[in-house]
Structure 1
Amino acid sequence: MATTPARDDKAIFAGPLGEIARNLGKVSEADPIGILATILSGFSSYIGPTTKVTTTAGEMPLSLWTILVGTSGRGRKGQATSIGLRVIEKAWKSWGQENVLHSLPGTGLGLVTELSEHADEEGSTAPMLFVEEELDTTINAMKRDTKIGVYLRKAFDGSDLRHKTSVASIRIKSPHFGIVAHVQPKNYKAILGGRDSTGGTWNRFLPLLVARARTLPVFGGPDPQPVIKKAAKALRAIGSAAREIEEVTVSARTAKAFEKKHRIALEALIDGNDELAEQCERALAHCVRVAALYALAEGCDEIFVRHFDAALALVSYSIATVREIMPETTGESLPNRIAEAVKAAGEEGMTRSELWDAIGRSIKAEEITKALLSLPQIQQTKKMGRGRPSLILRWTETPAKTVAA
């Protein structure tokens, strides 16, 4: 049974959406990260296709597709999505009633037909949210109809969809929808490494391991209604402000910080691990999308470093999720080797020189520095003595701030 990896909750739950998820988590047994994933996907859907962020590769839509990975009965996937949807449907009543659909169509034709039923005469579809609590159904459907994967890949990039039959031709312009899906760890592992995974369908999703966060009494537990009502009011205001923003920008200063910290940290997590790299190929794209959503939730039309920090923490947890589900990837990446070495050192910790001996002197110092950026659980403190102070590395379950050498 997969266990949830360590994560930086302080960073992940930063900002208004994080606060909503934390508060909802207090009146539910669901993992708050599952609640946050539901709300993030719903928020990404609601803002629509006109709000984008521009990268070197071009304009990027902000729809987010998440998968809650958890064991049936213990993962509380259903509770996480259920309470998140109650807030979404209360915040945006008419949109929630008309544009939140509780299953993914089982054929390519079914998908474009569903989208066309929510489109105007020119083929521009309304923003939608698909909730698929039985992802196994979609997995099996993809084996029978390869068009589903093709259309999903195009939709993720906001590309037009065209489907021709002998009697009709359907065109969907710039489709925009979020997805929240549920799957058991063993079933998710079964699709990793397959054609639709390496071909790019499943690595467009952000998988997150979830587990029951607490046990509440069957009777007489906390009343969720006041919390849901307050959360819906906050989400309604957040959504209204975000819909007024058409472009989310990144300043030159923030872009430089992203390249030096966030990009390096993500690449270090999957560096040298081909299997993990295939499944997490779009980690950078997800980091940008998520950061933009964190910015929009604050009413900002610009992504700041704090938004990238939050996105990095969430995407890093997603990468850790894949590693946990695919044991064959464990131990290959440099961050993993460093983590194991520092853990083994115990409370006394180890110096960087000792770490170098443990993982191999052939590894360059700058590669170790990059890898340490992706491991917030490693606390770095200075030890004073004669001569130059030593930097001691210790493992802590609570992510700590790094002290510069």
Structure 2
Amino acid sequence: MTEYNGSVIANGGAIGPSEHTEWPILAPKALYSLAGDIVNAATEESEADPAAVLATLLPLIGIAVGRGPYVKISDDIHHARLFTVIVGKSARGRKGTSEGPVRRIWDVAARTLGPLNWKPGPMSSGEGLINAIRDGDGKEDGGVPDKRLFIVESEFAAPLRAMRREGNTLSAILRTAWDGKTLEPLTKTSPIKASEPHVGIVAHITQAELRTLLGNIEIFNGFANRFVWFGARRNRFVPLARGMRDEDVERLGRELAKRIRIARNLKCIKFSSEARDLYIQRYPQLTADHDGLFGVVISRAEVQVIRLALVYALLDASHEIVVNHLKAAFAVWDYCSASAARLFGSIASNPLEARILSPLRNGPKTKTELHRATGGHTNAAAMDSALASLQQRGRIFSRTESTSGRPCEVWHLSRNANEAKDAK
């Protein structure tokens, strides 16, 4: 990992949370083959961020191809389904600059490939999502035969708020949709269902909105790791942007249609021997444990990389994942991991743990003092569990210290991973 102009270039180095304050820079390997041609054309004369364009393009390709091609890992089948979130500092240049060029190119491809169920949102309930690709009821409703659904949610804050409502099924349905299993609410009053769903999502949110909504950590613990998080910035200042040339749109759209048409006939996609070796080499890094919400958000890294590599392979109309596909996938994941570190790195995944760490930053505390500092209403078992979890991960340590009365256990914030060991 290197720095350039104060930003991080995500190029395969290990990254921990909150190491850098600027958005990362997308490594060139992510712009492989036709994906790179499309992103370069989309950003050449516009303010669009290459990462945001890529975050829109890759899920679209996977959904356009369909459920035919897959990668099998152990007993799990992975189709080319991606959920992405584009996080910007503000609403400027978010949706229009990244979705617009991808939509133009897709419209050309669709003349050959046929239409795609492309929805703008908003996502407000699980039942609404199911309805868009519902099965027939065997009576009057014939359902929706095409189970592909591509959603561009321009206001991701709205569904996050909806998930807070009691009885809202959206979070559970989104998790099941990413898994590719039958979508069916667990209510007797709603017989609607959707079998073999193939759903892709591109969501947009600002940092301020995300920060506000992070108060409900449970929402993110449930489904955030199904999403790949892209930090986005305005690429440049272009007051009178010309946009893509019509001839480039036609050329890229026709080429995209050609490759997707071939990819639709593919089935089991395997790794080449060289790609398999590379994946095995990176696997320990992908599956490493990380603290806090950052660790929760990237906890499906190994699967997300496989799905990303599958999309790059399909975009090449390839029957196997080769090294270049995997390197492109790693470049995307490294960028998204660095983005997630910036967004979530300082946030504990357990709200009680966060409340414990906060007073410890001001100095050591006894358990009684921590109990008062965290509101005074936490039961002893929950406090002991949170302290044990933080201690096990090396975030805090305890020492038995002498007082005027009996010796007392005092908790300290760790400055490094080895301090807890040294304290014993």
Q: TM-score, normalised by structure 1?
A: 0.73
The 1:222/1:100 distance shift into structure 2, 3 A limit, reads closer
Residue 73 of structure 1 and its aligned partner are, at CA, apart by 4.3
1:326 alignment partner, one of 344, 369, 387:
344
CA RMSD of aligned residues (A): 2.9
Q: Are 1:218 and 2:247 an aligned pair?
A: no
Q: Secondary structure at the match of 1:247?
A: coil
Q: Are 1:29 and 2:47 an aligned pair?
A: yes
Q: Are 1:195 and 2:213 an aligned pair?
A: no
Structure 1: give runs of 5+ residues left out of the alignment.
331-358, 363-405
Q: Which residue of 2 aligns with 1:40?
A: 58
2:284 alignment partner, one of 245, 260, 264:
264
Residue 167 of structure 1 and its aligned partner are, at CA, apart by 5.7
The 1:223/1:110 distance shift into structure 2, 3 A limit, reads closer
Q: Which residue of 2 aligns with 1:338?
A: none
Q: Deviations 1:16-70 (Å, cap 9, x if unpaired)?
A: 1122111211032100111111111111111111221111242112111111111
**Cα distance in 1 between the residues matched to 2:43 and 2:171:** 33
Structure 2: give runs of 5+ residues left out of the alignment.
1-19, 349-415, 420-424
Q: Are 1:110 and 2:128 an aligned pair?
A: yes
**Cα distance in 1 between the residues matched to 2:265 and 2:341:** 38
Structure 1 stretch displaced more, 315-324 or 71-80:
71-80
**Cα distance in 2 between the residues matched to 1:234 and 1:150:** 37
Q: Secondary structure at the match of 1:11?
A: helix
Structure 1 stretch displaced more, 125-134 or 286-295:
125-134
Q: How does 1:88-99 map to 2 (within 5 A)?
A: 88-93=106-111, 97-99=115-117
**Cα distance in 1 between the residues matched to 2:136 and 2:225:** 27
**Cα distance in 2 between the residues matched to 1:306 and 1:205:** 23
Residue 3 of structure 1 and its aligned partner are, at CA, apart by 6.2
Q: Secondary structure at the match of 2:204?
A: strand
**Cα distance in 2 between the residues matched to 1:189 and 1:204:** 19
**For residue 22 of structure 1, what is the amino acid of its counterpart?**
N
Contact 2:71 2:268 in 1 (8 A): yes
Instruction: Count the aligned residue pairs.
Output: 329
**Cα distance in 1 between the residues matched to 2:417 and 2:81:** 42
Structure 1 stretch displaced more, 141-150 or 280-289:
141-150
Structure 1 stretch displaced more, 279-288 or 66-75:
66-75
1:173 alignment partner, one of 195, 200, 208:
195
Contact 1:112 1:161 in 2 (8 A): yes
Q: How does 1:230-245 map to 2 (within 5 A)?
A: 230-245=251-266
Residue 222 of structure 1 and its aligned partner are, at CA, apart by 5.4
**Cα distance in 2 between the residues matched to 1:217 and 1:59:** 46
**For residue 154 of structure 1, what is the amino acid of its counterpart?**
T
The 1:197/1:94 distance shift into structure 2, 3 A limit, reads farther
Q: Are 1:137 and 2:155 an aligned pair?
A: no
The 1:225/1:73 distance shift into structure 2, 3 A limit, reads farther
Residue 160 of structure 1 and its aligned partner are, at CA, apart by 0.7
Q: How does 1:55-70 map to 2 (within 5 A)?
A: 55-70=73-88
Q: TM-score, normalised by structure 2?
A: 0.70
The 1:167/1:281 distance shift into structure 2, 3 A limit, reads closer
**Cα distance in 2 between the residues matched to 1:47 and 1:17:** 15
**Cα distance in 1 between the residues matched to 2:66 and 2:189:** 31
Q: Secondary structure at the match of 1:16?
A: helix
**For residue 195 of structure 1, what is the amino acid of its counterpart?**
E
